[in-house]
Amino acid sequence: MIAAIRGRLAARGSDFVVVEIGGLSLRVSAPTNVISEAGAIGDEVRLHTHLYVREDQLALYGFLDPAQLSLFEVLLGVSGIGPKGVLGILSAAPVETLHAAIAEGNTDMLTSVPGIGKKTAARLVIELKGKLDIAAFVGGTSSAAGEPPSLYREAMDALTGLGYTASEARNALQGLPSGEGAPHTTEDAVLYALRRLSSQ
């Protein structure tokens, strides 16, 4: 695992920089703000990196701070979003803004990113709400008064919001574990349903 690199900035492109380390030149894909803030050609640059390994691809992604790298790795874990899509998201707004959009369920902001549609934006919100430490970025708000809907109903609403029909949502939620294995949050129930839908 390559955690970070430091070397001379040799070149930059629309979505990458080239960093020279000794006699080695590394092409590092990066968000637009990293490319613009990396410095002048010839300057020393240090990037926190993620090595992306697949059978047909070996790529290095670089970031100026650990928070951006951490968010990249979390976003990369969302089904249906590849590294190029994640770079597009990180290029669209600062980390704090993205945290807030996910915490508030602001899919309009997320769909403003090229290549991110309504379903993908909704999936980002559902899958990441429980994974991101949003407390430092977004003030907590109390829930609306009154009896909250059941977990099952909330999961149904979330799935139909993703574009699935009520019938598809009901079928996906069939067999939802109960007892000790029961989901504790709506997000858990929706993830259970999405796994069943993706396997069909």
Residue 75: give its domain's CATH number: 1.10.150.20
With cut-offs at 50, 70 and 90, classify the pLDDT of residue 146.
Answer: very low
pLDDT at 144 over 70: no
Q: Extract long-range pairs of 183-189: CB within 8 Å, 24+ residues apart.
A: 183/151, 185/130, 185/151, 186/151, 186/154, 186/155, 186/158, 187/126, 187/127, 187/129, 187/130, 188/130, 189/151, 189/152, 189/154, 189/155
**Total count of domains within the chain:** 3
Task: Give the integer Cα–Cα distance in Å for 81 and 116.
Answer: 9
Token pair belonging to 9:
């900035």
What's the residue count for the chain?
200
In a domain, 134, yes or no: no
Q: Supply the range of the domain harboring residue 180.
A: 151-199
In a domain, 182, yes or no: yes
| Proportion of the chain in helix, strand, coil states, percent, rounded to 5 | 45, 20, 35
Within 10 A of 60 (CB to CB), how many other CB atoms are there? 18
Give whole-number Cα distances, 92 to 55, 88, 115, in Å.
29, 6, 12
Q: What is the DSSP letter of 114?
A: T
Q: Give the largest Cα separation in the chain, rounded.
A: 66
Tell me: the pLDDT tens digits for 96-122? 788 878 877 888 888 888 778 888 888
Task: Give the integer Cα–Cα distance in Å for 121 and 33.
Answer: 22
With cut-offs at 50, 70 and 90, classify the pLDDT of residue 200.
Answer: low
Per-range mean pLDDT, top range of 1-5, 85-89, 135-139: 85-89
Placement of tokens 């990249």 in the chain: 72
**Nearest-5° Cα angle at 82, 52 to 25:** 35
In a domain, 136, yes or no: no
pLDDT of residue 138: 36
pTM of the full structure: 0.64
Quick one: 74 and 55 in the same domain? no
Quick one: 54 and 70 in the same domain? no
Mean pLDDT of the chain: 80
Quick one: 42 and 71 in the same domain? no
Tell me: the pLDDT tens digits for 147-185? 334 577 777 778 877 888 777 877 787 766 665 566 667
Tell me: the pLDDT tens digits for 57-99? 899 999 998 888 988 998 888 877 889 889 989 998 888 788 8
In a domain, 142, yes or no: no
Quick one: 58 and 70 in the same domain? no
